[in-house]
Amino acid sequence: MITGQTRVFGLIGHPVRHSLSPAMHNELFRRRKIDALYAVFDVLPSQSGGVASAIRTLGLAGVNLTVPFKESVLPDLDGYSAAAAVAGAVNVVVSQNGELIGHNTDGLGYLRALKEELGAEPQGRTVAILGAGGTARAIAAALAADGVVSVTFFNRTIQRAERACEALSQAHPGCRFQAAPLAAGSFRLYSPSFDIVVNCTSGGAAETVGAFDVRGLRAGTLWTDVNYWMPDPPQLVACAGRGVRIQRGIGMLVHQGAESFRLFTGVSVDGDTVRGVLDLGGW
């Protein structure tokens, strides 16, 4: 029963109607007997400057953030975690004693899914990351902290990728970062050297990524697409046909969700519990 004491959490982004997060969090609240609810707030990008104020004004206990607000909200927060600082983006904001504190669970979620689903250890691997936004940088930082030797960002705006390389190089000097255009020619040039490819681009780049030639990837290379909601992410079928191991983004969502729930409530849940809540046998 919703009462005046019910804490309200939610997801802020655009678009967000496809999200599995409400089903996940509300069922976890029910199972753990926590007086809370989780809703989605589809906010137009033009309103990005008012996101933090809305959280404060409405007294929301915490939110998940997705595109396009993961980076723009940073200046309006009272503080954020080390992972969020390195990524330059937050995907969880929690209200603590009247202050808004940002966190980033993208990298943690990706790493846990990578190891759980594929049994892969990043140490010593070379990585390609398609995109250079908040999710891409968070995943790159987590992989660098776990021992990958190089990360190449492919991005439509090369300057954005170069800025990501500069920031991450300072935080992880043991890993080599470089930038390249998000284009078929540059990907084909580098592709034989990669052990892991992570597509962090949004759905709008699907046609560009779909034009890449994946024949240069070695058999056994890992290809992850973080866009769990896409019915047919680019290149997954082509990669599977060439012996490249593929991974959809649902595992990352599961572990992100588990960590978000812990940050929201202080209650830990494991990935298997979240998968059971969402009935993900078919994913």
33 tagged catalytic: no
Report the 10 Å Cβ neighbour count for 20: 19
Contacts 24+ apart (CB under 8 A), 264-271: 264/9, 264/25, 264/36, 264/61, 264/62, 264/92, 264/94, 265/32, 265/34, 265/36, 267/32, 267/34, 269/28, 269/32, 271/112, 271/113, 271/116
- DSSP H helix total and E strand total for the chain: 11, 12
**Distance (Å, rounded) from C-alpha 37 to C-alpha 46?**
27
Rounded Cα distance, 249 and 230, in Å: 9
Peptide bond into 234 cis (omega under 30): no
- Classified as helix, coil or strand, 210 is helix
Catalytic residue among 28, 64, 66, 70: 70
- What is the rounded end-to-end Cα distance, in angstroms, of the chain? 32
**Residues annotated as catalytic (active site), given as ranges:** 70
